[in-house]
Amino acid sequence: MTEQPSRRLLLVHAHPDDESINNGATMARYAAEGAQVTLVTCTLGERGEVIPPGLAHLTGAALGQHRLGELTAAMSALGVDDVRLLGGPGRFADSGMTGLADNDDPACFWQADVDQAAALLLEVIREVRPQVLVTYDPDGGYGHPDHIQTHRVATRAAELAAEAGLGIAKTYWNRVPRPVAEAAFARLADDLPGLPFTAAAGVDDVPGVVEDARITTEIVADGTPYAAAKAAAMRAHATQIDVAEPYFALSNALAQPLFTTEYYELVGAAPAGARERDLFAGIEQAR
Ligand SMILES: [Zn+2]
């Protein structure tokens, strides 16, 4: 058996593109440092809206297949070589936005049995033995059914792992501090006339925004190759993201900041003193 890297990070996301937007710089950094970086994506995002008119013909399974290719290209930009679809590609269908009839599709991730889906994730945990898990908060960051379900499945899998003696030392939720978001949107308002976007989103459109006091950890990548890798990874998701650094837009065409410092809340820990600058801080790196 090949020896595993001593630091092992597992990220669990809902759709291709979520990993690059939330954690691209973090993933690039840890991959470059020789850590094991494993991404599990729960759906292929085949109900996403397509931005480029030339690709608008892609829907359903064809879009899912295309987005799998985008995900592969994004991981190559980040230097991450371990990406998996939960239960295999197409096992869980994209549930669509909140309130759509798609949410009732028995094949969709929102309708999946949490324990069954968590058992599939537990198989990955058994193999990878991550010390650190990154996922969304209980609201999925912004209420999308697949993001909420991703939180539930990842959290249940972490419980099952603990029961099996495979305890994950630290679980983080993706966050953006409100003051950081507010300052970035203020800059965006000034910059908007020079951008290829006609309107801006707002702080409330950014997933995971919380007060400063809840932030325990920041991975600072401004001006580093990891920031460049993040932008490249986001560009690889061309059906979903329109990048004009340091901004980007989703299919709603509303400009928002591209954060190259990424923020986290360590679950179950009260923030104390200076923020961590390493997700593995305090972890004994036993094999
Ligand atoms: Zn998503």
pLDDT in tens, 80-124: 999 999 999 999 999 999 999 999 999 999 999 999 999 999 999
Task: Answer yes or no: is pLDDT of 284 > 90.
Answer: no
Q: Is the peptide bond before 52 cis (omega within 30 degrees of 0)?
A: no
170 in helix, strand or coil? strand
| Contact criterion met (CB below 8 Å) for 8 and 35 | yes
Tokens read off for 87:
């239960």
pLDDT tens track for 228-273: 999 999 999 999 999 999 999 999 999 999 999 999 999 998 777 8
pTM flag (> 0.75): yes
The confidence score (pLDDT) of residue 4 equals: 87
pLDDT tens track for 101-110: 999 999 999 9
Query: If you measure from the C-alpha of residue 18 to the centroid of ligand 1, how many angstroms do you get, rounded to a whole number?
Result: 5
Smallest CA-to-CA distance from 92 within 22, 145, 143 is with 145
For residue 21, the one-letter residue type is I
Query: If you measure from the C-alpha of residue 93 to the centroid of ligand 1, how many angstroms do you get, rounded to a whole number?
Result: 12
Identify the H or E element spanning 177. strand 170-177
**Mode of pairing for the β-strands spanning 217-220 and 261-266:** antiparallel
Query: If you measure from the C-alpha of residue 50 to the centroid of ligand 1, how many angstroms do you get, rounded to a whole number?
Result: 13
Share of the chain above pLDDT 70, in %: 98
| Contact criterion met (CB below 8 Å) for 212 and 183 | no
pLDDT tens track for 30-78: 999 999 999 999 999 999 999 999 999 999 999 999 999 999 999 999 9
Query: If you measure from the C-alpha of residue 140 to the centroid of ligand 1, how many angstroms do you get, rounded to a whole number?
Result: 9
Task: Answer yes or no: is pLDDT of 1 > 60.
Answer: no
Query: If you measure from the C-alpha of residue 287 to the centroid of ligand 1, how many angstroms do you get, rounded to a whole number?
Result: 33
The confidence score (pLDDT) of residue 287 equals: 47
* Nearest-angstrom CA–CA distance, 13 and 150: 6
Query: If you measure from the C-alpha of residue 97 to the centroid of ligand 1, how many angstroms do you get, rounded to a whole number?
Result: 9
**Mode of pairing for the β-strands spanning 132-135 and 8-13:** parallel
147 annotated among ligand-binding-site residues: yes
pLDDT level of residue 2 (50, 70, 90 thresholds): low
Q: What is the mean pLDDT of the chain?
A: 96
Residue 119, burial from CB neighbour count under 10 angstroms (0-12, 13-18, 19+): middle
Residue 79, burial from CB neighbour count under 10 angstroms (0-12, 13-18, 19+): middle
Mean pLDDT of 206-222: 96
